[in-house]
Amino acid sequence: MTFRFLQGHAGTESVSLVQEVADPRTGPALSPVGGGSWEGVFLRPDVDRFEYRFELGYSGGGHEMVLDPANPLRAPGAFGERSVIEFPDYEPPAWLTAEPRPGDVRELDVPSRFLGEVQPSVVWSAAGTAPQSPLPLLVALDGPEFARFSGLLQMLEAEVARGALPPMRAVLCQPTRRDEHYTASPEFAQYLAHELIPAVERLGAIAPQGRFRAGLGASLGGLALLHAHRSSPELFGALFLQSSSFFQRGSQPGSGHVERIESFVTEVLGEPSWHDPIPIAMTCGTVERNLENNRQAAAALVRQGYPAALHVVRDAHNWIAWRDAWTPHLVDLLAKAWS
């Protein structure tokens, strides 16, 4: 791929590509080619989409991160937008063009004695459902971000409307201390099982059987859901884990949270069997650093008796990659678990 950047600012001394598919993340540097233009070449990675920015270096020593002014295509993210290239093989999900009837959305603040503070969340119910009707429930960690950056509620509304999913509810969880709660925290697992589910039921009835509750999480959220399942096997009947942070020893800089993750992952990988396996679908991008760890975790779960499968998607660690994998993989998982 050849990148060109036209920058008329006289103080620009360097232009570098910033990407999230290869190390180092900043680079290669573009070379001046005259007329205020810079140019550089980057080998196309094994993806169908490519998100990037440019880093500008100025003569005064400052730096600035900018989008590609010649490319109007953008991808959203929690730390700002990215410019994006969609290669010819890329196909966005069909539900993006659907205009389903919107469901009911209500805010829910859950006081937690396990976590020591109120946990904000949002409860969505499919259009036309009554609060007293017991429905299947999807628990989405980082749910508000999934809704904002990936269109989670639009997808659920579209798939319910076309009959691929049954009428259902979803609770979108917003962590107050993500690095603490989503890192194999026993307190967070207790919160999900004993405080969140009863709070949701006060807004709308949910099916009493555990198999009608499923979890959705990405990155640390995927790790947190598997840990919650292993802590309380009755909590979920299915899990959808995306780009999960299954860090193994020595793979990340050390900290108390990382050590807790590594200890839990070591236990998961070492178990010969598990007494309460549930259906689990996993996704991970072709260029993600943690792909091999996800492969090993999936193999361990299968060995322990789980109906588990890892789907490798041609993308990286981002909100659109996770969005694009929901159909068919998340929809298929929920449809089978709730049939």
294, 318, 249, 335: which is closest to 83 by C-alpha?
Answer: 318
The pTM (predicted TM-score) of the whole model is: 0.94
Beta-carbon-side half-sphere exposure of residue 155 (alpha carbons within 13 Å)? 24
What pLDDT was estimated at residue 25? 87
What pLDDT was estimated at residue 293? 96
Query: Helices (DSSP H) in the chain: which residue ranges?
Result: 143-145, 152-161, 178-181, 186-191, 197-203, 220-231, 256-270, 291-303, 319-324, 331-337
Sequence letter at residue 95: W
**From CA 176, how far away is CA 171, in angstroms rounded?**
15
**Which residue positions in the chain have pLDDT lower than 70?**
8-10, 250-256
Domains and their CATH numbers in the chain: 2-86 (2.60.40.10), 94-337 (3.40.50.1820)
Sequence letter at residue 103: G
